[in-house]
């Protein structure tokens, strides 16, 4: 495995994104799993082609990466509660993940790794974009970095309100406070940790102040093109990303075609400054 990563590694940009060729994810040994976890923390997102596997194999692989997360969305395949089905077709009113976000950052222990395998690709489009939050943090000016460093922000799962209500759960949608700048537990690097999908306000600021700062940061993330990479899917491609240091954005530019895939996600640690 070490050899595979060293010899079949193709960085797509300097700050983010590496394609690994010649690696069969579900045949990795323990050293290979460790190496993949370290590499994804460094590069933000890894891409793999031709990863034909069953749902059971994808779940087993996910478990080797960490404790698996169960998403509030209904529709997990029977027997696989940890699998999130990502499906869009001509009848869809929305598509999952259209907008910059870090998966389920409203959780107290938000996701670490997400592994998406797309089985059915549209005739054109359907790419996923990824943005490095190392780069987003490092490209802010020093005075803004200093201002943001002690702050916390509220991340809310309000967009899941209907999902919780439909499930008849007592549980309210999750809401958590996380540091605006967190330290990545594997690399020790600083990361900008706010996202337009879930972050609603900065604690201790007035509502207009908070809105203005968050809008500035969301613009900074969206416009920092040099910290982004865009992945073109083929059937059975896999993207493995680290939600602690990247955000992603699905592109729904293929209507009315169908795109279908499966995601498993690991639970991360409580973010710390």
CA distance 188 to 183: 6
- To ligand SIN, the closest distance from the beta carbon of 31 in angstroms equals 28
The verdict on whether 178 is a catalytic residue reads: no
Q: Does 246 bind ligand SIN (CB under 6 A)?
A: no
Burial environment of residue 146 by CB neighbours within 10 A (0 to 12, 13 to 18, 19 or more): exposed
Q: How far is the CB of 206 from ligand SIN (least distance, A)?
A: 31
From residue 138 to residue 177, what is the string marking binding to ligand SIN with x (rule CB under 6 A)? ----------------------------------------
Q: What token pair was written down for 66? A: 């960490």
C-alpha 258/C-alpha 273 separation (Å) is: 41
Supply the minimum distance, in Å, between the C-beta of residue 6 and ligand SIN.
Answer: 28
The active-site residue out of 43, 178, 244, 248 is: 248
- Considering only residues 74 through 133, tell me which ones interact with ligand SIN, judged by CB under 6 A: 86, 96-97, 114, 116, 128
Q: What is each CA distance from 213 to 48, 117, 181, 240, 255, in whole angstroms?
A: 37, 35, 14, 30, 34
Per-residue tokens: 160 = 């899941």
Q: Which is nearer to ligand SIN, 104 or 140 (CB)?
A: 104
Label residue 17 left, alpha or beta by phi (over 0 means left) and psi (-120 to 50 means alpha).
Answer: left
- Looking at the DSSP bridge assignments, the partners of residue 9 are 20
23 touching ligand SIN, by CB under 6 A: no
Contacting residues toward ligand SIN, per CB under 6 A: 86, 96-97, 114, 116, 128, 248, 250, 263
Catalytic sites, residue numbers: 101, 103, 248, 263
């Amino acid at each position: 495995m070490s050899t595979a990563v060293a010899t079949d590694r193709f960085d797509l940009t300097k700050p983010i994104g590496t394609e690994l060729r010649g690696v069969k994810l579900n045949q990795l040994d323990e050293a290979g799993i460790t190496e993949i976890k370290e590499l994804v923390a460094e590069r933000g997102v890894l891409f793999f082609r031709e990863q034909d596997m069953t749902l059971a194999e994808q779940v087993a692989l996910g478990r080797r990466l960490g404790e698996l997360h169960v998403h509030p969305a209904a529709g997990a395949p029977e027997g696989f509660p940890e699998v999130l089905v990502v499906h869009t077709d001509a009848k869809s009113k929305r598509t999952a993940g259209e907008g910059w976000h870090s998966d389920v950052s409203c959780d107290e222990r938000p996701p670490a790794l997400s592994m998406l395998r797309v089985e059915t690709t549209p005739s054109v489009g359907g790419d996923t974009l990824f943005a490095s939050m190392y780069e987003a943090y490092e490209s802010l000016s020093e005075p803004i970095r200093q201002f943001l460093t002690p702050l916390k922000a509220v991340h809310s799962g309000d967009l899941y309100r209907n999902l919780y209500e439909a499930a008849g759960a007592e549980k309210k949608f999750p809401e958590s406070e996380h540091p605006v700048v967190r330290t990545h537990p594997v690399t020790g690097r600083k990361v900008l940790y706010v996202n337009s999908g879930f972050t609603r306000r900065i604690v201790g600021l007035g509502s207009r102040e908070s809105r203005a700062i968050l809008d500035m940061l969301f613009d900074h993330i969206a416009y920092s093109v040099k910290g982004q990479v865009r992945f073109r899917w083929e059937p059975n491609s896999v993207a493995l990303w680290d939600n602690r240091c990247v955000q992603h954005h699905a592109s729904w530019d293929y209507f009315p075609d169908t795109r279908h895939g499966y995601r498993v996600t690991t639970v991360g640690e409580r973010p710390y400054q």
